[in-house]
Each structure stands twice: as C-alpha cells, then as structure tokens.
Amino acid sequence: MPNTEVTPTVFLRDIVQRPAYMNLWEKHRHRKAHWVAEMFAESLGVFLYSYAGVGSTAAFICGTLTGAPGLGSLLQIGFAYAFGILFAILVCSGTSGGHFSPSVTISFVVFKGFPPLKGLRYIFAQILGGYIAVGLVYLQYKDLIGLADEALLAAKGPLVAAATKFTPNGTAGILALYTLPGANLTRVLLNEFVTDTLLALVIWAILDPTNILMPPQVGPWVVSLAYAVAIWGFSPAALAANAARDVGGRLVALTVYGTQASGGKYAALAALTNIPAMLFGAWLYEVFLTDSSRVMSRAHLEFMQAHQKHHEAMVAGIAADGGLPRVVAGNASQSSTGKGEEHHDIQQLERV
C-alpha cells in the first residue's frame, strides 16, 4: 500500500517564543524590509568564503616570503575556500537563496525568471561582501604583509621586489588576482572559461530537483568540493571563478595601492569571463541534461514544500496585518500590490 503518512507542518514560532521586538521586526521585514535581509545574506555569504579563502592565501604568501615553513599551501587554500562556501550556504542560503556570485544571479535571471532589479541588488551586495572581507583580512595581516615585503626586498633587491609585488606571488596577490608576468591571456581565458563552465554544470546539477543522487542536504558539500577541485587544479594557471571575490578584492587593492594595482587587461578577463561561462554551462544542462518528465525525489519535494509553507505563512502574515490582500497560497506574485518583483512565485525557488 502507498505511504499516506503526512508530515505535520511545524513553524519555529509554534515551539520557540521569540522576544516581542523580534516579532515586530519580522513583521516589518516581511512587509517592507525583506530585501534588506536578502542583501545582507548575500553580502554575508560572500564575506564568509572570501574571508576564509583570502585569509588562507595571506598565510601562504606571507609565510613563503618570510621563509616561515608550514603556514599554508595550495591544498590548504582550496580547503579554506571550500569550507567558506559551505559555511556561506549553511548560514545564509535560507534567507537569500544562496547565490553568492554575480554569475549565478545573472544565470537565474536568464533561465529561472529571477527579477532583474533584485538581481542588481544581489550583485551589489555580493561585491560589497567581498570588499569588506578582503579589506578586513588586509587590516589583520597588515604587519605580516609589511614584514613579507621587507623580506622580499632584502632577499631579491628593489627591482625584483617591485616586479613581484603585483603577481600571484606578491603581497598584492593576497588582495587581488593577478597573472604571472608574460602569461598568455588567451590560454588564461581558456582556463577560466572551461573551469567556470564545469562549475556551472555542477551547480545546475545540484539545482535539479529530479536529480535523485543529489538531495538538498548534499548540495552544499558538493558545490564546495567542486570549487576546491577547481582551485587545486587550475588556480596556478590564473582562476577567478567568482566576480564578487575578484571585483571586491580588486577594489581593496586599488584602495591600498592605487592604480598600479589595477591588474591591466587581466582584470577585465577575471571579472567577466565567469559570467558567460556560467550561462553556457547552465544552457548545456538545460538543453541536454534537464528532463521535465523525470520524477522529483521525496527529499527535493520536502525541501520545496518547506519553502512553500514559509512563503504561505509570510504572505498570510502580511495580509493579516493589512499589507496585502489575501492571495492564493504560493502565488503572491499575482497579488494586486504589483510587487511581483519582490514576492515572486515559489516556483522560482533559489538554492545554492
């Protein structure tokens, strides 16, 4: 016989009593300030993985230049970014959907009907999160960066020190991404585009609710591991993979060192290539690997139903407070308020 057991819907408020001021804030956030919470979540998510990854990079570069062994490695940097991405998804994706990358947001606008204006807000928040994270790492490591610069100057002389500073091996390479002197930008472009396309395929596979081998609970680990693999294998050939970390870090380098930290032609390549690569990877998955005749797994169905119930409760609470007319559950985008851009249909669930 088929399993007819129905899982009860239990909201946090049913078992946990929050302070009155928190309840008032939640009502205000649901009605008018939900975009603030979403932008904060996107910014915090980028902050978390940038802070982890750039901190590990700082330890590695400073340790290498000062001759202190054991302060880092490419393996450590890959793990740092991976765990930073994992923390970002676990902490923030429930609020914003967990884009954490302009390329992901743009691909959602193109393929999943994500509102363009909301997408612009997300991208601004993502770059801001990267800027704050990299800037904070610089302040925390400023003394060690100074010692590393002095050690390089003493060991190699002023000409080599100046030539090394704005490279992946120099201290400015902690903040912003650079190529090695004389690198062929065509091959750098190829490295970036192919790697980012493969990352896009992994992300889209995680988003596929019919992928029974990829339940929602596994997704954060898989995407984190995918970025770690990309870093381990292809960052030595110059890899940005995420414009939020790249542009945010570039702006910090420009703030600290001025225009000499601009990065030249590579700066544009690093910031922009991941966007068409993500779109291409998403297109490949949608055209060749997505099949609407497949059956959704129970894990994905429960995941989406949980988001549906949250959406219904939020809309019902707004309506009860006089902020919205009563609407059909799960279709607030069709309400007479005209704010479909803000309360888009639950079918546009963002994950990862």
Phi/psi of residue 90, nearest 5 degrees: -65, -35
Pull the structure tokens for residue 192: 């970036």
9-18 in b/e form (b: 16+ CB < 10 A) is eeeeeeeeee
How confident is the model over 318-345, as a mean pLDDT? Answer: 44
Beta carbons within 8 Å of 139's beta carbon, 6+ residues apart: none
Whether the CB-CB separation of 220 and 86 falls below 8 Å is answered with yes
Confidence of residue 317 (pLDDT cuts 50, 70, 90): confident
pLDDT in tens, 7-44: 788 988 889 999 999 989 988 888 888 999 999 999 99
Q: At 336, is the pLDDT very low, low, confident or very high (cuts 50, 70, 90)?
A: very low
Q: Check if CATH label 3.40.1390.20 holds for domain 17-316.
A: no
Confidence of residue 347 (pLDDT cuts 50, 70, 90): very low
| % of the chain at pLDDT higher than 90 | 76
250 versus 307: the higher-pLDDT residue is 250
CB-based contacts of 101: which residues, under 8 Å, 6+ apart? 46, 126, 242, 243, 244, 274, 278
Are 50 and 128 in contact by the 8 Å Cβ rule? The answer is no
Amino acid identity at 346: I
226, 272 contact by CB (below 8 A): no
Kindly give the residue spans of alpha helices, DSSP state H, lying in the chain.
12-15, 20-28, 34-66, 74-96, 102-112, 116-156, 158-165, 172-175, 185-207, 219-234, 243-257, 265-272, 274-284, 298-320
Dihedral sign for Cα 21, 22, 24, 28, please.
positive
Distance, in Å, from the CA atom of 119 to the CA atom of 210, rounded to the nearest integer, reads 26
